[in-house]
């Protein structure tokens, strides 16, 4: 596995109270970083943070005020910000393909899975600029690269996250801010819910939170701006190769000037 030294660096992890987030918090701390743990579960955030001599932040990442306040507090208490893992996420929980749409539930899904990523990156970039650059890893999903008919709304949000990471990564690359998306397969966390039993019944292999922490470490060491990295059980994290759009795109379109 690629090594990365985070001694003297400061990291912020959202959704850090359990599952993938907690595993990444412990990994970043092991690599030398001081870590701020942000979660709606404030008690859980305190528990994880105390185990790594970090700081805990409670808040709803779907609230536009939460991420700016979190970044401000990180800089105040830890002095800087170098690494951000925008990891918080929830499942769709409804089909979203008929007139039975629960709008409130849908808005919550988009708020956590999409809005939080935008709020988080916009809040973090000024802090990263003050350090001359930094790394941002966004937890997406294989559902951001391929259709998941069992949960179309979740698929929608993760496609949005992958597209945002690809574009934002290129937009910030010249400033030394590397934005990457991580697209794991199914991970053994509470997000699986009742589906966990179905996977067990058919012997379907699942990734562990530790596997994702391994992948985050690789992305921090090797990731390039705007890449989407995939990780599946038994495999190594690798950058996904997008086919590209057929035909030649005018430079102004590529640079976003149209």
Determine contact, residues 53/245, Cβ cutoff 8 Å. no
- pTM of the entire predicted model: 0.91
Q: Verify whether residue 106 is a known catalytic residue.
A: no
- CATH code, 10-254: 3.40.50.720
The pLDDT tens digits for 41-65 are: 999 999 999 999 999 999 999 999 9
Asked if 115 and 62 touch (Cβ cutoff 8 Å), the reply is: yes
Catalytic residue among 106, 119, 154, 164: 154
β 55-58/177-184 pair status: unpaired
φ/ψ of 134, rounded to 5, equals 170, -175
Residue 20 neighbours by CB under 8 Å, 6+ apart: 87, 139, 187, 189, 209, 212, 213
Output b/e per residue, 177-201; b: 16+ Cβ within 10 A.
Answer: bbbbbbbbbbbbbebbeeebeeeee
Q: If we measure between CA atoms, which residue out of 28, 207, 180 comes closest to residue 117?
A: 180
Q: Is the pLDDT of residue 200 over 80?
A: no
Share the mean pLDDT of the chain.
Answer: 90
Contacts 24+ apart (CB under 8 A), 229-233: 229/180, 229/181, 229/182, 229/183, 230/142, 230/145, 230/183, 230/184, 230/185, 231/182, 231/183, 231/184, 231/185, 231/207, 232/142, 232/184, 232/185, 232/207, 233/185, 233/205, 233/206, 233/207
Characterize the bridge pairing of strands 34-39 and 55-58: parallel
Judge whether residue 205 has pLDDT over 90.
no
Residue 192 — pLDDT band, cuts 50, 70, 90? Answer: low
């Amino acid at each position: 596995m690629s090594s990365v030294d985070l001694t003297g660096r400061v990291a912020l992890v959202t959704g850090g109270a359990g599952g993938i987030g907690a595993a990444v918090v412990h990994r970043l701390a092991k690599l030398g970083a001081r870590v701020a743990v942000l979660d709606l579960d404030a008690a859980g955030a305190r528990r994880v943070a105390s185990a790594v001599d970090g700081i805990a932040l409670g808040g709803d990442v779907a609230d536009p005020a939460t991420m700016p306040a979190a970044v401000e507090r990180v800089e105040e208490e830890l002095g800087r910000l170098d690494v951000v893992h925008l990891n918080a996420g929830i499942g769709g929980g409804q089909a979203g393909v008929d007139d039975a749409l629960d709008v409130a539930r849908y808005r919550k899904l988009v708020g956590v899975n999409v809005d939080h990523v935008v709020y988080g990156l916009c809040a973090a970039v000024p802090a990263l600029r003050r350090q001359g650059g930094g790394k941002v890893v966004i937890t997406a999903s294989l559902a951001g690269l391929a259709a998941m008919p069992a949960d179309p709304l979740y698929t929608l949000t993760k496609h949005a996250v992958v597209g945002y990471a690809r574009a934002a990564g290129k937009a910030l690359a010249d400033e030394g801010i590397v934005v990457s998306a991580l697209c794991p397969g199914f991970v053994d966390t509470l997000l699986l819910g009742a589906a966990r039993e179905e996977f067990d019944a058919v012997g379907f292999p699942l990734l562990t939170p530790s596997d994702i922490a391994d992948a985050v470490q690789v992305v921090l060491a090797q990731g390039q701006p705007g890449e989407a990295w995939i990780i599946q059980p038994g495999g190594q994290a690798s950058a996904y190769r997008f086919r590209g759009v057929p035909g030649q795109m005018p430079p102004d379109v590529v640079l976003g000037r149209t």
